Amino acid sequence: MSALGEHPTMALSSLCRSLNVPRSGIYRARRGPVARRERAKPRRALSADERQAALDVLHDERFVDRSPAEVVHALLSEGSYIASERTMYRILADHDEVKERRRQRRHPVYARPELKATASNQVWSWDITRLRTTRKWEYLYLYVVMDIFSRAVVGWMVAETETAALAVRLIDETVALHGVRPGTLVLHADRGTQMTSKTLAQLLADLDVSRSHSRPQVSNDNPFSESQFKTLKYHPSFPGKFASLEDARA
């Protein structure tokens, strides 16, 4: 304490150095809180009535879906000036209106699909993947239907095209092959054109099979088929490319 009294600056600097504390923080704590001065209002600032007039212009039917920049230039072309573009943005910000001002379509909120199977032939997942061939820009298409309870492939097809008609044939034959009773099966898929086609929807309605789809633009809502395709293509025995349709089927 005597050292602090005799050499306050030296003692404080040594103490702060040993404690790894900045001296400025000590001085600031001793000084206490400093009252901030109110910022002086600019002389050219708009009055309350002028700000309200600018907001009324922005809310006008002519400008309700246009940006402040468009509003300012439209008024200038008519020989009128209400406020600058930046001031209009400040006025809109004060009223929580700095956002997309046009009327836009609101997409519905889709529930995340939750599939639960306690036995085989309760929930199937299906998808289509491309298979590379030895010819450039030519592909084959592998259709696979999988039971998510047993992870067994219950139906598959390799074709040269990707169409809803082939998907309908595969689903119809697979349901008949496993003797699935009406009203007991849920078929899950993503939202590809083949999966959401009217012909497939009509078949599932006739077979009394419930449909389940992934949410729009969500790639991981069909993990069963996606995982199975990755396991297939990354397996050491997978050839990578096929010379013909018969080669791929074999």
**Domain residue spans in the chain?**
48-94, 123-249
Cβ-count burial 213-223 (b if 16+ within 10 Å, e if not): bbeeeeeebbe
Instruction: Answer whether residue 1 shows pLDDT above 80.
Output: no
H or E, element range at 39: none
What integer is the mean pLDDT of 228-244?
93
Least confident window among 29-33, 56-60, 121-125, 230-234: 29-33
pTM, two decimal places: 0.59
DSSP string, 184-220: S-EEEE-S-TTTT-HHHHHHHHHHT-EEEEPPTT-TT
Summarised one tens digit per residue, pLDDT across range 76-124 is 999 999 999 999 999 999 988 887 766 777 778 888 888 889 999 999 9
Tens-place pLDDT, residues 54-84 = 999 999 999 988 889 999 999 999 999 999 9
Identify which has the larger pLDDT, 118 or 29.
118
- CATH class of the domain whose range is 123-249: alpha beta
